[in-house]
Amino acid sequence: MTLPTLNTEGFLITAIAADWALLTADFGDGFGAAVLDGLPEGLRSWSLRVAALPGDSQGGVLPDDYSPPTFVLTEAGSGYVLAETGGRLIIERAHTRAAYLWTFFQLSKAAGDQPFWIELEDPETGTRQTYLAQFADDRISYEVLCAQVYATGLQLIERRLPA
């Protein structure tokens, strides 16, 4: 299965966290036990913010894995742009980063919360890594998405697929 990639150009990853699945028991008086019930690296999460002004029209193409219409973001950001996809020409509408993210969010949820790839720097190794992710929120308005993406950040969580 080919999964889409979220274009994170122009976005800031402001928080990187991990959560470990532990089974614990508290025996009282300071005694306890725990066992890891997941992968040793834990489950990663990220906070995604926009680095540019709200009117900036940078970003990426929504993948063909999602149903039409597809959107492309351009530097000019005005009106319509011409893109070539699979040997045919398609006119696609330009969007700001926030609108791109909003459309990507909607299409991911409409596809059954389909995960997507993100590429970002791993703070542990300092190298760019590709992670499978999904949006943490299942319900969000455009206004809340914009407020989060320009202020506190939109939450992404790592996603794993069964082998």
Please, which residues have CB within 8 angstroms of residue 125's CB and are 6 or more apart in sequence? none
With contact defined as beta carbons under 8 Å apart, do 45 and 20 qualify?
no
How confident is the model over 69-108, as pLDDT tens digits?
444 444 344 444 444 444 334 444 456 777 788 888 888 9
How confident is the model over 41-77, as pLDDT tens digits?
889 999 988 765 444 444 444 444 444 444 444 434 4
pLDDT at residue 95, as a whole number: 60
How would you write the chain as a 3-class SS string? CCCCECCCCCEEEEEEEEECCEEEEEEECCEEEEEECCCCCCEEEEEEEECCCCCCCCCCCCCCCCCCCCCCCCCCCCCEEEEEECCEEEEEECCCHHHHHHHHHHHHHHCCCCCEEEEEECCCCCCEEEEEEEECCCCCCHHHHHHHHHCCCEEEEECCCCC
With contact defined as beta carbons under 8 Å apart, do 123 and 129 qualify?
no
- For residues 125-142, give the mean pLDDT: 89
- For residues 1-5, give the mean pLDDT: 85
> pLDDT class for 161, splitting at 50, 70, 90?
confident
pLDDT at residue 65, as a whole number: 45
Strands 128-135 and 11-19 turn out to be unpaired
> pLDDT class for 25, splitting at 50, 70, 90?
very high
